[in-house]
A and B are shown apart, each in its own frame.
Chain A
Amino acid sequence: DAKTTQPPSMDCAEGRAANLPCNHSTISGNEYVYWYRQIHSQGPQYIIHGLKNNETNEMASLIITEDRKSSTLILPHATLRDTAVYYCIVRDPTGTASKLTFGTGTRLQVTL
């Protein structure tokens, strides 16, 4: 699976949009971009995933650049409960390796 690069930390004011970037310049054609988050002392939580089109669900939006070398996770109205470590992972779900390869993620701090 391709490696990803994320900033180690970010701050966001409550109510504002949080935009979390991820670089995955070596992504291959079969690999999807997945986002998980981990709130302190809990297991990771699935947020969203996509291949090349932008995706939106009730939690977030995922914007993938046309060349697929980077993406941005958008939390449209961040709340204090969104404070967590956010992991960007690229993975080929149809490959023989089913594992998720986590990096160190981005620690998002949402403040009043």
Chain B
Amino acid sequence: DTGVSQDPRHKITKRGQNVTFRCDPISEHNRLYWYRQTLGQGPEFLTYFQNEAQLEKSRLLSDRFSAERPKGSFSTLEIQRTEQGDSAMYLCASSLAINEQFFGPGTRLTVL
């Protein structure tokens, strides 16, 4: 399967813990995006990278959130000091330049 992959698929954590998610984009896709989706809502943009450069961040991305794409390939999204409001599906997508975005299956986070 050469699609976007995300790991883990599910994560349960206690409030106050740190979590890290990984996204592996489609090979040769230079753009990588993170979105968050809560129940009943469409995905909301968090941030995007072009190669290793983080070019845009949403106001949703508080200072507890940090994303990296160190070598312009895979990306990680870390949430520090998780809160119950962080419970959501975290989606990663990739694209080749301005072309359509392809999404991964998502990581479902539950904060107890």
Contacts and interface: CB of A to CB of B under 8 A. Distances in A.
Contacts of A104: 40-42
Contact of A87 (B42, B98, B104, B106): B42
B100 A44 contact: no
B93 A34 contact: no
Contact of A46 (B40, B41, B56, B101): B101
Nearest to A100: B101
Interface stretch (A14-22, A63-71, A74-82, A90-98): A90-98
Contact of B42 (A97, A98, A102): A102
Contacts of A94: 98
Contacts of B101: 46, 100
Nearest to A102: B42
Interface residues of B, number: 26
A100 B40 contact: no
A93 B93 contact: no
Contacts of B65: none
B74 interface: no
B104 to A, nearest CB: 5
Contacts of A101: 45
Contacts of A93: 98-99
Contact of A100 (B45, B55, B98): B45
A57 to B, nearest CB: 11
8 contacts: A44-B43, A44-B103, A87-B42, A93-B98, A97-B56, A99-B45, A102-B43, A104-B41
Given A43-B103, A44-B91, 15 more contacts: A43-B4, A43-B91, A43-B93, A44-B43, A45-B103, A46-B101, A93-B98, A93-B99, A98-B33, A98-B55, A98-B56, A98-B95, A100-B33, A100-B93, A104-B42
